Amino acid sequence: MFGKLYAGELKKMFSLKTALIMIAIFIFGFAVITIALNSFKDLTVGAIETDGPEVDISIWETFKRNISEEQAKAELNVLKAQLKELEKEKKDKGFTYYMGFLAGTDGIYNCKSQIAVYKYIIDNGLYNQDLYFYDSAVFAIGGLIDESATSFASMMLGVFAFLLSVYALIIGSGAYANEMQNGTLKILLLKPITRNQLTLAKLLAMLTIVVAAVMAVFVLITAFSYIAYDDPLDTMYYVFNASSVFKAPVSFPLFLAWLDLLLGSLAFGIMAFFFGTLMKKRVFGFVFPYAFNFAATIASLIGIGRFWITNTVAWSGFFGMGSGISTGSNFFISMPLAIVYFGGMIALSFVVFNRRDVA
Amino acid sequence: MAAVLEVKNLTKVYPRKGHKDGLTAVNDVSFRVNEGEIVGFIGPNGAGKTTTIKMIAGLARPTAGEVFICGHSVTRDRVNAMKHVGGVIETPDMYPDMSGLKNLNYLVSLHPKETMLDPSDERFSTVSKKELDAQRVEDVLKMVGLWDRRGDQVRKYSLGMKQRLGIAQALLSKPKLLILDEPANGLDPAGIKYIRELLRRLADTYKIGMLVSSHQLSELQLMCDRVIIINNGKIIAERRMDELSAGEYKGGARIIIRVDRPAEAAALLKEKLEIQAEVIGEELRATTSAETAVITKELVLGGFNVYGITREEIRLEDVFIDATGEGR
């Protein structure tokens, strides 16, 4: 009997129209980011003046490598030492070498830019002559690209997260509120089922659809990455591991990014379900989760608030990927607290609906 | 006769802001509905009808008292109680984007297999729940005359069709108790007659007990076995319909006699039959339990020309207004 109830709820909540609209928005967004990221490739080229012809160096390949700042620095130091040895050999020949403006600057962008340039010089034997790296702008652009790509990717992640949260809100808020507004709840309550069974069926159906939606986005992004990019894995890093595109270790950031999306969407679904059920009107299921989230954001900016009101949907902070509001929050305090909050909302949904007089 | 619905001392108090005591919407209401019996539930707006019906259906929690459906308490044994109930409460709402057929297919799936077919039936183990459900949905849709429109979205149905779909939905569970709130609302005269005859037939054939709330008193009078009148949260009167049609209410039926010399005829009736008759124009009016044949005989023997005697059935409306004190 419960199976039928659950299947019925799934059918009621899932709307093909909404799903198709979401997919359309997704495809549009992905097309935009594809074009934008591809256009960066052409920007990441600097020029070196040699004795012979001017040489173009693309730093794109180095730039998109998923290495941490420490790794980049170590790699750069190896290259520098290598070049010094080569320089010694050719010292008697004497050459001018203007790379001074790079010295003393650090940071991941410069490291990566320098790696690209040093590598090019070593690989092509250019240390043997006068060099003037005249297009200093390339390094500026390098930094810019890094930040643009990061911010673009994080914007894209934001769009996905937003789309998924909106979808979770649509489904969660409508679970009971729709039936109350339709009047169909009166029919359901005349069926030989308990109210707890109904709430459980609705909750499970909502969670199922949200998980399925996150999975669908995962499948779509993977498929699109393989279709649109030469290096799909790197693209996926850009998109999902946005804030760590150039920084995070290659451990398992994709998985964490997924967990972040999934937990965030589920959190929104549960909040929408709770507020929609509590307030009987769908609009509250939309507004209150955002209000709650906003309150949590504000609270987490202030001292103890960042521990006690958890960063409701900024889970990435817990995984060392994000910065901002979650900085300073402690996974082992905030996570259990989040479980208490959302578990509490689920439990209250049951209690509230069980005691309610259906008008 | 077995009671399908037993309401015992049902009370509902709504909390009120700024008042120590709540608002008592239903106050110690008790009644029962037997199988095969159609009971009208009437009362002025705000009398507590809908609140009572909602408590019976388990939509609202009683403050005190209890409701038993086929012996199962609605508050304590809800699943078993609701196995035998069908109902349309307030408005015949359905999922508007689904077709009538899909609505019913979904709703019928929420009933256990035993509801569709008796477990002792030899087909029980061989026939699937799905087949039984499909058969039941077809049966009820044909019963209410919506089979031809089954594929249409409910939002395209007229109010009358929605009303009939609501009744079809209520019948899905092969109920022993039907709870209907304004079932004739929005129906045209033919539709009203159709529903009335359908309900009467269902009550007689399947012994379904029904609690019908309506403001269309003339319809209720034609359909019901009994009416319960509620006002200010209390049951103030209960009447059997056959009593009303036999005129056995308040000392008899109302009789209108058209006769020549009415004043003298009135005097004769008072002398011979102790009937207090009132002269209104050319007519005599009286309330009496005396047979019309006896009255005619007396008047004819007294030398009067009797042009006609009409025995008026007591209308439910009169009983209602009498009991509630409305309209004065």
What DSSP string runs through B7-68? EEEEEEEE--TT-SS-EEEEEEEEEEEETT-EEEEE--TTSSHHHHHHHHHTSS--SEEEEE
The answer to whether the Cβ–Cβ distance between B54 and A358 falls below 8 Å is: yes
Both A81 and A179 in one domain: the answer is: no
Q: Is the pLDDT of residue A318 over 70?
A: no
**What pLDDT was estimated at residue A250?**
36
Both A94 and A237 in one domain: the answer is: no
A351 interface with B at CB cutoff 8 Å: no
Does any domain span residue A207?
yes
pLDDT mean over A49-58: 69
Least confident window among A54-58, A129-133, A246-250, B99-103 = A246-250
Higher pLDDT among residues B30 and A164, named by residue: B30
Query: Tell me, which fold does domain B253-312 have in CATH?
Result: Alpha-Beta Plaits (3.30.70)
Q: Taking CA atoms, what residue in B is nearest to A6?
A: B110
Both A98 and A120 in one domain: the answer is: yes
Which residues in chain A touch residue B57, judged by CB atoms under 8 angstroms apart?
186, 189-190
Does any domain span residue A144?
no
In CATH, B3-245 is 3.30.420.40: no
**What pLDDT was estimated at residue B56?**
92
The answer to whether the Cβ–Cβ distance between A358 and B60 falls below 8 Å is: yes
Which residues in chain A touch residue B75, judged by CB atoms under 8 angstroms apart?
none
Helix residue ranges, H only, A64-136: 69-89, 108-123
pLDDT bracket for residue A101 (50, 70, 90) = very low
Contacts 24+ apart (CB under 8 A), A300-309: A300/A325, A300/A326, A300/A329, A301/A325, A306/A334, A307/A333, A307/A334, A307/A337, A308/A337
Domain termination site, one of A133, A168, A202: A133
The answer to whether the Cβ–Cβ distance between A189 and B91 falls below 8 Å is: no
Q: Is the pLDDT of residue A95 over 60?
A: no
The answer to whether the Cβ–Cβ distance between B111 and A188 falls below 8 Å is: no
So what's the ipTM on this one? 0.81
Find the Cα–Cα–Cα–Cα dihedral A90, A100, A140, A235, rounded to 10°.
Answer: 40
d(CA B298, CA B267): 12
Both A172 and A62 in one domain: the answer is: no
Q: Is the pLDDT of residue B100 over 90?
A: yes
**Structural domains in chain A (count):** 2
**What pLDDT was estimated at residue A264?**
80
Both A102 and A155 in one domain: the answer is: no
Does any domain span residue A139?
no
Domain ranges of chain B: 3-245, 253-312
* Burial tier of A33 (Cβ tally within 10 Å: 0-12, 13-18, 19+): buried
For residue A113, the enclosing domain spans 50-133
Interface test with A, best of B52, B69, B95, B169 (most A CBs within 10 A): B95
**What pLDDT was estimated at residue B5?**
93
CA angle B134, B139, B144 (to 5 degrees): 130
Q: Taking CA atoms, what residue in A is nearest to B130?
A: A4
Both A84 and A207 in one domain: the answer is: no
Both A291 and A180 in one domain: the answer is: yes
Does any domain span residue A258?
yes
Both A247 and A100 in one domain: the answer is: no
The answer to whether the Cβ–Cβ distance between B82 and A193 falls below 8 Å is: yes
Both A217 and A96 in one domain: the answer is: no
pLDDT bracket for residue A226 (50, 70, 90) = low
Which residues in chain A touch residue B91, judged by CB atoms under 8 angstroms apart?
183
Contact partners, residue A291, CB within 8 Å, separation at least 6: none
**What pLDDT was estimated at residue A247?**
35
Least confident window among A345-349, B18-22, B47-51, B248-252 = B248-252
* Burial tier of B228 (Cβ tally within 10 Å: 0-12, 13-18, 19+): buried
Q: How far apart are the first and last CA of chain B?
A: 39
Q: Is the pLDDT of residue A100 over 50?
A: no
Does any domain span residue A190?
yes
Higher pLDDT among residues A62 and B69, named by residue: B69
